[in-house]
Structure 1
Amino acid sequence: MTERAQASPLDRRPKTEAELRDRIAACPISGSAQQMRRAFATLAGPQPHLSEITRGGRRCLVVGEGPEIVWFHGGGYVFGAPETHATLATALAAHGLRVVLPDYRLAPEDPWPAMLEDAHAVLSDSGPVVAGGDSAGGHLALVAAQTGADLKGLALVSPNTDRSGASQTRGRESDAMNDDASDAALARQAMPDRSGKDPAASPLLGELAGLPPVHLEAVGAEILLDDSLLLARAMALADCEVSLHVTPGLMHMHTLWPDCLPEGAASLARIAAFERRQSGAAQAG
């Protein structure tokens, strides 16, 4: 008699933080770019199916109705896709937003500035909107704003902002999702000809004055915590409007699992409220 196949825990969404941590441990993101992409898709878990549109010549997934936010997915510019962030986008859309997830080019096949060119193409075809992103996607939204994108605001979750050495949290071992060596290896693939002092790699060192209002979300245990803290301080000193919320503990990219982590859902709720404020302010103006 053939034994009935046992369903793997990786075939379903985690239901608790403990299950999520087990999933992270079971899905190391390593090997070739293709292997990392498959591992990250497994780690992100099953996702809802979203509609497709074309924006700026790029394929995008879209969900929801209301004020629009263009959200750039994270993944170190090597892995991740609109499909891995569909749960995040759906959770944002539930707050009365239209969420657009661009499918931008990835390294090592297409290193920087290919992804920035794609971001500008999408944003220039969107009209003034709020742009956001997590991790590398937050970096992408920020650099797009620094290089001329016309935006109402920036909503950034744990963006990479500093590779110059100013950060004091990159060497920590408390982040279940990320470590400094892996993060640096991804940067070498994405930006092989850029030093950590280049504003493209470290937008903390770029022009901050004149940026639209920025809302930052970070978590206390991640290696990129200082990237957000330093950016918030630098923006305040540049007389920019900036808000920052740090949730204790957790791990990098916590907003990928809002159905599992109440704190991730709360981060997205704050981002949605920020988006509505910026869209409302723009309409009133």
Structure 2
Amino acid sequence: MSAEQRENLEAILRQSAFPAGIDVNEQRRLLRELTSSQPLPADVTVTAAALGDVPTAEITIDGIEPRHVVLYFHGGVYVLGDAVSAANLASQVGRRTGAKVISVDYRLAPEHPYPAAVGDALAAYEALLQNGIAPSDIVFAGESAGGGLAVATLVNARDHGLPLPAAAFVMSPYADLTLTGVTMKTKGEVDTLMSRENLEARVADYTSGQDAALGLISPIFAELSGLPPLLIQAGTHEVLLDDAIRLAQQAASADVEVTLDITPGVPHVFQTFYPMLDEATAALDRAGQFLSAHLAGAEQPA
């Protein structure tokens, strides 16, 4: 990261950070303003669709004839965001994977607390399978809460006896809603986007009286055996760094093939800043190679 890139990024992060103490509706309005000010690449098309009863956004890139599908889960601490707001970053995953992206518009808390998001995510995946897409042609991806939801959906699908996708890629996963990671404190000063206090204000919206340590709420506490290969990316300037590290440790302990990819000096979901940050482009390239390799490997005859 050059000095100019760092200065530009820090200016954006200061502008993007939500003021402490504002309510959910105001946070949603500010996020819509932020995402709408960032136009999609000219070759990206977003179309409203559905998987079963779950609304989605289908994201395609001109010139790519997709043979595979990325099922994508957006971030927003389970109370913010939507399928379309994730389209810019999601399209970069699809571009590098040669895949169509289907971004899941799962229901949000506090209007729809747990297990609404988990149920919608599983229903979307099940509908994709019922539509005739082979699991070996599907990968999961997600950022922040969507990263945690992607892993929870793998666990949920496994427990429901569904065949699992070829691989999953998660960025800065929000995987511990008990907020017990050590970096909640040690990275507080360098994380300009998130803080333990801001996260804590939203946990009850989603858990709604349920135990935040349930595996489908906080997948670092889930039993992860049998999951497909995982790529977990995070930056060192984020309070959720320890979520990524502990999730990788849990996966490794369960004999899951897992790659933990940590980039120094970058913030939460730094891949979002690919137009201006060399490290973001490089990380997305690595993710595309990982997903493509597992999709290609799944196609080879036994």
TM normalised by structure 2 equals 0.83
Distance 2:286 2:52 in 1: 28
Structure 1 residue 166: deviation in Å?
4.8
The share of aligned pairs that are identical, in percent, is 30
Structure 1 residue 118: deviation in Å?
0.9
8 Å CA contact 2:70–2:94 kept in 1: the answer is: no
CA RMSD of aligned residues (A): 1.9
Cα 1:82/1:262, change in 2 over 3 Å: farther
SS class of match (2:184):
coil
Indicate the residue corresponding to 1:94 in structure 2: 95
8 Å CA contact 2:175–2:243 kept in 1: the answer is: yes
Of the structure 1 ranges 87-96 and 214-223, higher mean CA displacement relative to structure 2 is found in: 87-96
Match of 2:224 among 205, 208, 212: 208
State the AA in 2 paired with 1:113.
Answer: P
Distance 1:47 1:102 in 2: 20
**Equivalences for 1:20-99 in 2 at 5 Å?**
20-30=9-19, 31-44=22-35, 45-48=37-40, 50-61=46-57, 62-64=59-61, 65-66=65-66, 67-95=68-96, 96-99=98-101
Structure 1 residue 33: deviation in Å?
1.6
8 Å CA contact 1:256–1:264 kept in 2: the answer is: yes
**Equivalences for 1:183-198 in 2 at 5 Å?**
183-198=199-214
Indicate the residue corresponding to 2:132 in structure 1: none
**Equivalences for 1:220-259 in 2 at 5 Å?**
220-259=236-275
Structure 1 residue 196: deviation in Å?
3.5
Structure 1: 5+ residue runs without aligned partners?
A: 1-14
Indicate the residue corresponding to 1:132 in structure 2: 141
Distance 1:185 1:166 in 2: 15
8 Å CA contact 2:18–2:193 kept in 1: the answer is: no
Does 2:175 correspond to 1:161?
yes
Match of 2:277 among 258, 261, 264: 261
State the AA in 2 paired with 1:243.
Answer: T
8 Å CA contact 1:175–1:250 kept in 2: the answer is: no
Structure 1 residue 247: deviation in Å?
0.5
Structure 1 residue 213: deviation in Å?
0.8
Q: Deviations over 1:209-265 (max 9, x none)?
A: 111111100001111111111111221121110011101011112122221222222
Structure 2: 5+ residue runs without aligned partners?
A: 130-134, 159-163
